[in-house]
Amino acid sequence: MAIIVNLLVIFSATILIMGNSSSAQLSTHYYKKTCPNVFNVVKSIVRSTVAKEKRMGASLLRLHFHDCFVQGCDGSILLDDTSSFIGEKTAGPNNNSVRGYEVIDAIKSKVESVCPGVVSCADIVAIAARNSIFLLGGPKWKVKVGRRDSRTANLSAANSGQLPPGNSALDNLIKRFSSQRSLHQGHGCLIRNTHHRTSKVYNF
């Protein structure tokens, strides 16, 4: 039960960030004609993954909000180093902390076999995060999709101190999420109302 409560703390602060990335273009029906089975493909792999290791469900949510904190929800956290830039994976808040890359890779591979060149990695991360929460007993919401993947990463932004470390106290989490313009007052209140039940989010 404790892990669900803590997941809901993060979820409540993340939900608007997820919806506001290029919000003018996002739609729950974005892939209706081009890749109608994408949600089922993601759900199937996430379900089997979480069944083997429940902690991975929390990790997939964390992967999502770590992506959204830097340049928006654009999948930039997934990029490896290239000759022109250093990826965000080695940033202090991400290195040896953020997990689930291999799960996203597996989902992307399966999706590509069904709908090549259609679904963005950023959307896969968002859908996987939603499915993870639901499978762990949390709420379910409709994911708006249509995000575009970034071609570059921003290591300096990932290291700028905006991202909360995994052992952050709840007050620190509220401050960090509140600094994001996508976080509305109602979500901050929801986090504060959870304070009496948990003082720290587990390091997942």
> Domain extents for the chain?
2-193
Q: Which residue, among 117, 6, 7, 137, has the nearest Cα to 60 in the 3D structure?
A: 7
Residue 151 scores a pLDDT above 70: yes
146: annotated binding-site residue? Answer: no
Residue 194 scores a pLDDT above 50: no
Residue 15 scores a pLDDT above 90: no
What is the band of 129 on the pLDDT scale with cuts at 50, 70, 90? very high
Average pLDDT over residues 33-37: 97
Residue 43 scores a pLDDT above 50: yes
Average pLDDT over residues 104-117: 98
Of 174 and 70, the structure prediction assigns the larger pLDDT to: 70
CB 118 within 8 A of CB 35: yes
The pTM for the full model equals 0.80
What is the band of 190 on the pLDDT scale with cuts at 50, 70, 90? very low
- How far, in Å, CA of 170 to CA of 64, rounded? 19
Where in the sequence numbering do the catalytic residues fall?
66
Reply yes or no on domain 2-193 having CATH 1.10.520.10: yes
Residue 17 scores a pLDDT above 60: no
Q: Which residues pair with 200 in a beta bridge?
A: 169
42: annotated binding-site residue? Answer: no
Of 192 and 52, the structure prediction assigns the larger pLDDT to: 52
Whole-number Cα distances in Å, 111 to 61, 106, 146: 20, 9, 15
Residue 201 scores a pLDDT above 60: no
Give the range among 47-56, 83-92, 167-176, 195-204 with minimum mean pLDDT. Answer: 195-204
CB 133 within 8 A of CB 4: no
pLDDT at 198: 37
70: annotated binding-site residue? Answer: yes
Total residues found in the chain within this entry: 204
High-pLDDT (> 90) share of the chain, %? 52
Average pLDDT over residues 150-169: 84
